[in-house]
Amino acid sequence: MISIIVGTVIGSGIFVKNQSLMRGTDSSLLCIIGWIIAGLVVLSMMLAFVEISSMSKIKGEQGTFKNWSNYLLGPKTSIFIGGYFTFVYFPLVLGSETIFATQEIFGLNKDIDWFVLWIGITLFSVVIISIAFLINTRWKKPGQVISASGIFVKLIPLFSVISIGFLVVVGISISDIDINHVFDPNDPINKGINNGFNFGSFGNILIILPGILFAFDGFLYANSMSNETKKKNTFKNAIIISMVLITLIYILFSLTSYMIADVEHDSDGNIIYDNFGITEILKRVFGKVIGTIMTVLIFISIIVVAFNYVTISMWAMADFSETDNLKDVNGTFIKRNKCGNPEKAGMRMFVFALISIFVFRIGDLILLLSIVFGKGGTNNISLYSASITSYGSDLYTATNFALYALIIIGALKNRLTKDYEVEKVRGFWFFSILSSLVMVFVVGYMMYDIIDAIVEPFFTSSGIGESFIVSINKIVFLIIYIGMIVWIFLFLSKDKKELTKDEKEYKDLIKFAYLNHVPFDEYSDYAIKGNSKKIKEANKKIENYKNTNSTSNVKK
């Protein structure tokens, strides 16, 4: 259970967020404090969801976010949340993961022109997402092999960097690494990487928390395994051990990255954040050749995350149709192909993922143009090659955790009303209130920070600088993001015409095949709408298919 939780939660976030965390705080100490707080928040949420998921165990149902929200927040809210994850979150996470992956590869060349960088990342992202959907929709085994291998691939660079940090701490000299700047706020040479901590630093921690939580997102997939344990406390103990282990790994990796990073300042005395990217850190400590190999491994590990989300999104789309939350009269999104996948659902999600990539890349391009032509160039232009994408990932991560908190609030209400039976978890009130309050502060401060950066130039003599330009672009993307959520809400809220008798009979036929893993090709010639005799023949053929493909004939 520990290996499942650790393997599920540790993804791409630890590799792609460290640079932005340092840029948001200018302090290694605040980044480490952020990792600790995030670990405590996620641990609290997971323990709260142990009680929530027990509802499914008691009812004998599958433990899913949609089922929990249906009971605790009502069916309409549940449909909206399911729609958000299917049509907003999954496409955005697919788009951002592929962009992050290609950014690591193109980051190997620091001297690349900004426009060539933008074009390259965009094209490679489209190619990667196309291949991922092709493989995962048309076949099963290749995708499974890729997913399984990714668990080991991502651990190689992760523990290699941590090992280097251990060697440096025990006194073994590697390159020209000086660890004083990480621990000493008054280090005169590299002043700025550790500013210490004061009350005003709390806002900086809130700003970076969504980026840190991005590295923890996915824990609910591990929570769905809670019903599989034989002993009551097994999963709870596994959660505590796993989250302490994951948080420790993240802290060690982050700390080592900051120790290894070559701290440089530009002509204005600002830190050059490029050096805090994982690609530059790997090249510095391992050399160009091995560092490049390590970067490729990170690229592969992020791609594997994208592959996993392709599969999850495809089935989310199919399940949304199967539960009739999507009209889908012809059962298009639940028709299985010969390998048993809902291929049409996968193709529709592919279209949404492509749209997300272009939304992100257009946002990144506008920001790049604003910086280059608005300020006459910048020394840190590569920082903005996927800046809006990174901000977008922070947005949907904050939204996800806000929805998790909403479910937890529903569970708190259930504690009072006792509408649904649960297995009570000791400390539930504390875990629930702590995690929910933190998310209220995080979401509120994100909004405040953007507005403050826009208003400040008009009340100070600092003038319109990069922070103002970045904030304006973030506001535009935020409006687009909110628009997507509103569109989903309106789309799912509008009254849908009831299926006719023939349409319902036909859809039930497709559902029968979907739930019994029957490829549509096996009976498509018989599935004719409006002809009950033919539909009965199709049903009979499906039953025969099911019987002849029983466990005894599985090889055939």
Tens of pLDDT along 148-203? 777 778 788 888 888 887 777 766 656 566 666 666 666 655 555 766 666 567 77
Instruction: Provide the percentage of residues in the chain whose pLDDT is more than 90.
Output: 11
Q: Would you state the pLDDT for residue 553?
A: 47
The mean pLDDT value for 200-222 works out to 80
What does the alpha-carbon distance between residue 137 and residue 10 come to, in Å, rounded to a whole number?
25
Choice between 377 and 317, residue whose per-residue pLDDT is larger = 317
Mean pLDDT confidence for 206-230: 76
Helix (H, G, I), strand (E, B) or coil at 354: helix
Q: Does 215 have pLDDT greater than 80?
A: yes
Residues 349/314, Cβ–Cβ less than 8 Å: yes
Give pLDDT, residue 352.
Answer: 94
Q: Which of 60-64, 385-389, 548-552 has the lowest mean pLDDT?
A: 548-552
Task: Give the other-Cβ count within 10 Å of 22's Cβ.
Answer: 25
Rounded Cα distance between 4 and 87, Å, is 27
- Residue 552: pLDDT band (50, 70, 90) is very low
- Looking at residue 531, its pLDDT comes to 67
Are the CB atoms for 327 and 499 separated by under 8 Å?
A: yes
> pLDDT: is 293 or 455 the higher one?
293
- What average pLDDT score do residues 293-304 get? 86
Do 260 and 278 contact (CB within 8 A), yes or no? no
Q: pLDDT-derived band of residue 140, with 50, 70 and 90 as boundaries?
A: confident
Neighbours of 502 (CB within 10 A): 15
pLDDT (tens digit per residue) in 342-360: 889 999 999 999 999 999 9
Q: What pLDDT score was predicted for residue 409?
A: 92
Task: Please state the separation of Cα 535 from the chain's center in Å.
Answer: 42
453 Rama class: left (phi>0) / alpha (psi -120 to 50) / beta = alpha
92-101, 107-116, 160-169: range with highest mean pLDDT = 92-101
> Residue 555 — very low, low, confident or very high, per pLDDT cuts 50/70/90?
very low
Residue 456 has pLDDT above 80, yes or no: no
Q: Using 50, 70 and 90 to split pLDDT, how confident is the model at 448?
A: confident
The pLDDT assigned to 195 comes to 65
Q: Three-state DSSP class for 519?
A: strand
Angstrom distance (rounded) from CA 171 to CA 181: 16
As a whole number of angstroms, the distance between CA 521 and CA 535 comes to: 15
CA quadruple 376, 378, 382, 384: dihedral sign: negative
Does residue 222 have a pLDDT over 70?
Answer: no
Q: 196 in the Ramachandran plot: left (φ > 0), alpha (ψ -120 to 50) or beta?
A: left
Average pLDDT on 519-548 reads 73
The band of 96, judged by pLDDT with boundaries at 50, 70 and 90, is very high
Question: How high is the pLDDT of residue 281?
Answer: 80
Roughly what angle, to the nearest 10 degrees, separates helices 428-455 and 28-59? 130
Q: Specify whether the CB–CB gap between 112 and 274 falls below 8 A.
A: no
Q: Alpha-carbon torsion 455, 458, 464, 465, what sign? A: negative
- Decide which of 107 and 434 is more confident: 434
Q: How many CB atoms lie within 10 A of CB 442?
A: 25
Which of 300-314, 353-367, 464-478 reaches the highest mean pLDDT? 353-367
User: How far apart are the C-alpha atoms of 505 and 492, rounded to whole Å?
Assistant: 23
What are the angstrom distances between the C-alpha of 109 and each of 114, 127, 267, 281, 404? 11, 20, 22, 14, 39
Q: What is the pLDDT of residues 253-274, one digit of tens each?
A: 888 888 777 777 666 666 777 7
Chain-wide mean pLDDT for the chain?
A: 80
CA distance 124 to 475: 27
pLDDT, average across residues 413-435:
87
Hey, what are 341's tokens?
């996948």
Q: Give the pLDDT band (50/70/90) at residue 556.
A: very low
Q: Which residue has the higher pLDDT, 260 or 88?
A: 88
Burial letters 208-237, b for 16+ CB under 10 A, else e: bbbbbbbbbbbbbbbbbbbbeeeeeeebbe
Torsion of CA 197, 38, 167, 189, to 10 degrees: -30
Q: Are 22 and 219 in contact (CB under 8 A)?
A: no
Mean pLDDT of the region 534-548: 75
Confidence (pLDDT) at 29: 82
User: Which is higher by pLDDT, 144 or 205?
Assistant: 205
Q: How many residues does the chain have?
A: 556
Tell me which of 303 and 521 has the higher pLDDT.
303
The whole-angstrom separation of Cα 150 and Cα 142 is 12
pTM: 0.84
496 pLDDT band (50/70/90 cuts)? low
The residues near 384 (Cβ < 8 Å, ≥ 6 apart) are: 364, 367, 368, 371, 378, 470
